[in-house]
Chain A
C-alpha cells in the first residue's frame, strides 16, 4: 500500500527566513505533485515533478525530487505572509493515475 508522509504537519515561519517541507513516500514512483490550498478553497497545482533529480522553482518556492530516496522537498526562501496556506504532496498510485496525498503541511508566516 502506497503511503505518503509529510513533515512537519505545522510550521510557524518568520518572515525572511528559509524553511523546508519534506515528503516521503513508500513505493516506487517517478511522479510527484505539490499543491497549495488556501482556507476554504480548492487545491491549486504548484509543481509536477516527473523524474529523478527534477527541480522546479516558482518565486520563493522550489521543489525537488529524489526517486531513489523516495523523497521530495519543498524549499521556501525568505518566507512572506502570502505563503501562508496548506501544502500537499501527492504521488501517483501504482496504476499511474490516481493520486495518494500526504496529510498536508500548514504554514503560517508571522512578522
Chain B
C-alpha cells in the first residue's frame, strides 16, 4: 500500500546542531508539505513543494530549509537548531483535494 513515512520518529539534539528530518511518500504525489505542531497553535506550515526542484516558504520558515530532488522525498533541515524549534513535525502530501499526513517526528532541542 502507498504510504508516507517520517524518520526519525523521535530525535533529541543540542542547540546549534544541524538536523535533518526525512519524509518519504510512495503515492507519487507532486505536492508535499512540512508542518510543525505546538500546543495552542495547531499546525503551522513551514515549507512546501509543488514538484521536483520547487520549494516555497510557509508561515514559519525561518531557521528551516527544504530541497526536492525527486518526487518521493522532501527532507526538512534545521540549519542550527534552537530550543524554540522543539516541536512535533508532520510531513504531508497531496494530489487533488486531500492531504495525507505522516506519523510525525518529535524533536527536542536541548
Cβ-defined contact, A101 with B44, below 8 A: yes
Cβ-defined contact, B101 with A98, below 8 A: no
Residue B40 contacts which of A97, A100, A103 (CB distance < 8 angstroms)? Answer: A103
Q: Closest residue to B33 on the A side, CB-wise?
A: A98
**How many interface contacts (CB-CB < 8 Å) are there between A and B?**
46
Given the known interface contacts A97-B48, A98-B33, the answer about A103 and B41 at a Cβ–Cβ threshold of 8 Å is: yes
Chain B residues with Cβ below 8 Å from A31 are 97
Is A45 among interface residues, defined by CB-CB distance under 8 A? yes
Cβ-defined contact, B42 with A104, below 8 A: yes
Chain B residues with Cβ below 8 Å from A103 are 40-42
Cβ-defined contact, A102 with B42, below 8 A: yes
Residue B48 contacts which of A35, A88, A98 (CB distance < 8 angstroms)? Answer: A98
Contacts A45-B100, A101-B43 known; list 14 others, CB within 8 Å: A33-B98, A41-B103, A41-B104, A42-B90, A42-B102, A43-B43, A43-B90, A50-B97, A88-B42, A97-B31, A98-B58, A99-B33, A100-B59, A103-B41
List 22 A–B pairs whose Cβ atoms lie within 8 Å, in order of A's numbering: A33-B99, A35-B101, A42-B101, A42-B102, A42-B103, A43-B43, A45-B100, A48-B97, A90-B43, A97-B50, A97-B94, A98-B33, A98-B48, A98-B58, A99-B33, A99-B43, A100-B45, A100-B59, A101-B35, A101-B42, A101-B44, A104-B42
Residues of A within 8 A of B (CB): 31, 33, 35, 41-43, 45, 48, 50, 88, 90, 97-104
